[in-house]
Structure 1
Amino acid sequence: MKVRGCNALVVTLAFLSSMLFSGAMAVASEPSLVLNGKLTQGSLIRGQVPVGSQVSLNGQSLTVNPQGKFVMGFERDAQATHTLRIIAPDGKTHTQTLTISKREYDIQRIDGLDQKMVSPPKSVLERIRNDSANVARARSGNRNYDAVFTRFSWPAEGPITGVYGSQRVLNGEPKRPHYGVDVGGPIGTPIVAPTSGIVTLAEDLYYSGNTVILDHGMGVFSTFLHLDSITVKVGEELNKGEQLGTLGATGRATGPHLDWRINLGSMRLDPQLLITDSE
């Protein structure tokens, strides 16, 4: 059975026919602005403004590509109100206050893990540091690549067994929140690209096992953890639906599943919010 995601609440403040992703409803505003996504904690928002505009969120400048498209995100525990500022090509400044909804997160208790995976021995600390540095490099680009503005699909078929934002307690020890969505299934289930992307990492890591990272452009990356096998190499460009590996239980995993994550740079966002009921 294919898993289904949450409805995406689309907020739009004018229609731009050149938007690549669908689902926008339009009302009048000045200047023309489209925002696509659910205004809630953990959400990735994709937007478009007139070509040549500048955009900032809470005083921080956002990258706007030559077509006037940009992305922004709200972290797991983001505050309720945010200020979006647009400087139009004519130099006029327009300010929009965005209000995002608060979410309630689950607490998950997982017992029976090998203690070395909960509190790793000193002998593997250097490997963990190297893994973290490699992952940071793999997510460090800000490529002008349009895949992020297209529709995302589920990378695997199966039931959802873990959700974004949940707090995990491993062997009785509280850990940082879970920042992905878990899809269960048998070992060997194909894992495919949820939308087009360029492979920036494909290797075995201590915690996440066989891991692949895809760059979807504009600083947005998908990460696929605990794979049984990897079928791609760094530098390959995948089309949506092309296989990148198989579902597994490598690394710190209690059973076979895919842990799919979305990052906007270092910001960890909810992949499930990118999936709509029309998928």
Structure 2
Amino acid sequence: MSSAPSLARCSAALILTVLSGGSLRAEALALPFHPSPVPGGVAVVLLPGKASPRATYHGEPVLVRRSGQGWVAVVGIRLSAKPGVDHVEVEGREVPFTIKPKRYPEQRVQLKDSRKVTPDAEDEARIEKEQALIGPAWKARPEGSVPSLAFQRPVPGALTASFGMRRIFNGIPRSPHAGLDIRAPQGQPVRAPAAGTIVLTGDFFFSGKAVFIAHGEGVVSLLCHLSKITVTQGQTVKAGDLVGEVGMTGRASGPHLHWSLSLNDARVDPRLFL
């Protein structure tokens, strides 16, 4: 086993087991987050070779970091992923890793506005237009931006809905919860969880008033249900900069902040990076 130098804001080396060539290999890694190779989690995969490689996962470029004398891929795993062996691709070669099973709890929510549960035809047309704007924001990669992979909470407060919950609105099952909900009063300042570029702002059907921050290399935050947005598209922000205020716009049953974090266009649990 070998140790990589410690990175900022990392208290201890994390032990990672990597499936490679049919055998298990372990390497001590110093990373400022907690790998969790489950649906909605993050896998760290040891890559072959000593030169900086370009790796992809299901066609999406993934973040690559040096570790010791080699390189690792930091891979966001979608909530829809199936447990079992998967792989990243490096220069035409498949490098396998294992996705472990995880069961998330269920959450039942009652909303007064039934259209936020079952949109009508006009709403569906609006949602389709909004998705055409939102899709590219999740894939944004501002040139020269390098994410720290160490984040801070956008607002203080208790969690009211954890990542991955299977949500049932007004008795109707809907998509799993792809972020964290943090309870906070109306008007509470919302701050950037890390440095980045504002790549999209708007008032959307489900998300309400929302801010997308691209932190670099395919790492993107969404902060939404805001009452007020205080940044503009194209603006750069530092960790802790004001980006808006807590609200309950969009599909929300009360004032709170929803924070989604995405790697390689896969929404992952933000708590892994706190």
The TM tier, using the shorter chain, reads 0.7 to 0.9
Deviation at 1:101, TM superposition (A): 3.2
What's 1:244 paired with? Answer: 243
- Are the equivalent residues in 2 in contact too, given 1:70–1:218 (CA < 8 A)? no
Q: Secondary structure at the match of 2:174?
A: strand
- Are the equivalent residues in 2 in contact too, given 1:45–1:72 (CA < 8 A)? yes
- Are the equivalent residues in 2 in contact too, given 1:198–1:236 (CA < 8 A)? yes
Deviation at 1:212, TM superposition (A): 0.2
- Rounded to whole Å, the distance in 1 between the matches of 2:153 and 2:113 is 30
Deviates more, 1:34-43 or 1:157-166: 34-43
What's 1:17 paired with? Answer: 5
- Are the equivalent residues in 2 in contact too, given 1:181–1:260 (CA < 8 A)? yes
CA RMSD of aligned residues (A): 3.3
> Does 2:72 correspond to 1:74?
no
- Are the equivalent residues in 2 in contact too, given 1:226–1:247 (CA < 8 A)? yes
- Rounded to whole Å, the distance in 1 between the matches of 2:258 and 2:61 is 28
Deviation at 1:229, TM superposition (A): 0.6
Deviation at 1:180, TM superposition (A): 0.7
Q: TM-score, normalised by structure 1?
A: 0.78
Deviation at 1:100, TM superposition (A): 4.0
Deviation at 1:263, TM superposition (A): 1.6
- Are the equivalent residues in 1 in contact too, given 2:229–2:244 (CA < 8 A)? yes
1:132 to 1:118, Cα distance in 2 relative to 1, 3 A: same
What's 2:52 paired with? Answer: 53
Q: Which runs of 5+ in 1 are unaligned?
A: 1-12, 88-92
- Rounded to whole Å, the distance in 2 between the matches of 1:151 and 1:59 is 25
What's 1:174 paired with? Answer: 173
1:85 to 1:203, Cα distance in 2 relative to 1, 3 A: closer
> Does 2:114 correspond to 1:127?
no
Deviation at 1:159, TM superposition (A): 0.5
- Rounded to whole Å, the distance in 2 between the matches of 1:112 and 1:63 is 37
- Rounded to whole Å, the distance in 2 between the matches of 1:240 and 1:47 is 28
What's 1:194 paired with? Answer: 193
Question: Deviation per CA, 1:9-63, whole angstroms, max 9, x where unpaired?
Answer: xxxx643438566343579x99x99584233331235678776232546786845
What's 1:142 paired with? Answer: 141
Q: Secondary structure at the match of 2:185?
A: coil
What's 1:41 paired with? Answer: 39
1:246 to 1:34, Cα distance in 2 relative to 1, 3 A: same
Deviation at 1:125, TM superposition (A): 2.6
Q: Secondary structure at the match of 2:51?
A: coil
Q: TM-score, normalised by structure 2?
A: 0.79
Residue identity matched to 1:81: V
- Rounded to whole Å, the distance in 1 between the matches of 2:115 and 2:89 is 48
What's 2:21 paired with? Answer: none
> Does 2:259 correspond to 1:260?
yes
What's 1:162 paired with? Answer: 161
Deviation at 1:75, TM superposition (A): 2.0
- Rounded to whole Å, the distance in 2 between the matches of 1:59 and 1:208 is 26
Q: Which runs of 5+ in 2 are unaligned?
A: 19-24
- Rounded to whole Å, the distance in 2 between the matches of 1:106 and 1:257 is 20
Residue identity matched to 2:41: S
Q: Would you say how many aligned residue pairs link Structure 1 and Structure 2? A: 256
Deviation at 1:169, TM superposition (A): 1.1
